[in-house]
């Protein structure tokens, strides 16, 4: 099993929306991928709490795949590429970790 975690810091304003609006829209877009891409075994998307006093990342994606090959299939899937292109317009920073469990 492969665990894939991605975190993003979003721009304050991008694509005509605030950071908070884009975080909500990004959550929806990412969660829709679970329906469209069968290689995704499990997925959770979380938005950082507004009340957090720390300078955390704004959004996290926590995913599981059967193996590395299935993650690669997900990454080249047209629906993922479409979401990734949009995300590139609204994010400032991205960090990711992949590890086997």
In order along its 101 residues, the chain shows pLDDT tens digits of 999 999 999 999 999 999 999 999 999 999 999 999 999 999 999 999 987 777 799 999 999 999 999 999 999 999 999 999 999 999 999 999 999 99
In the chain, how many domains are there? 1
Is 53 within a domain? yes
Query: Given this model, what pLDDT does residue 12 score?
Result: 95
pLDDT value, residue 52? 75
Reduced DSSP (H G I as helix, E B as strand, rest coil) percent helix, strand, coil of the chain, to 5: 40, 35, 25
Classify residue 25: in a domain, yes or no: yes
CATH of the domain at 45: 3.30.70.100
Report yes or no on 91 lying in a domain.
Answer: yes
pLDDT for the residue 2: 98
Asked, for residue 1, whether it belongs to a domain, the answer is: no
Q: Each residue of 38-54: pLDDT tens digit?
A: 999 999 999 999 877 77
From residue 15, alpha-carbon distances to 9, 20, 51 in Å are 15, 12, 25
Whole-prediction pTM value? 0.92
């Amino acid at each position: 099993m492969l665990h894939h975690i991605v975190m993003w810091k979003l721009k304050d304003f991008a694509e005509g929306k605030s950071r908070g609006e884009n975080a909500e829209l990004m959550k929806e877009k990412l969660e829709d991928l679970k329906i469209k891409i069968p290689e995704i075994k499990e997925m959770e998307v979380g938005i950082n709490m507004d009340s957090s006093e720390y300078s955390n990342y704004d959004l996290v994606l926590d995913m599981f795949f059967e193996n590395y090959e299935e993650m690669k299939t997900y990454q080249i899937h047209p629906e993922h590429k479409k979401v990734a292109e949009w995300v590139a317009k609204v994010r400032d920073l991205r960090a990711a970790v992949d590890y086997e469990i």
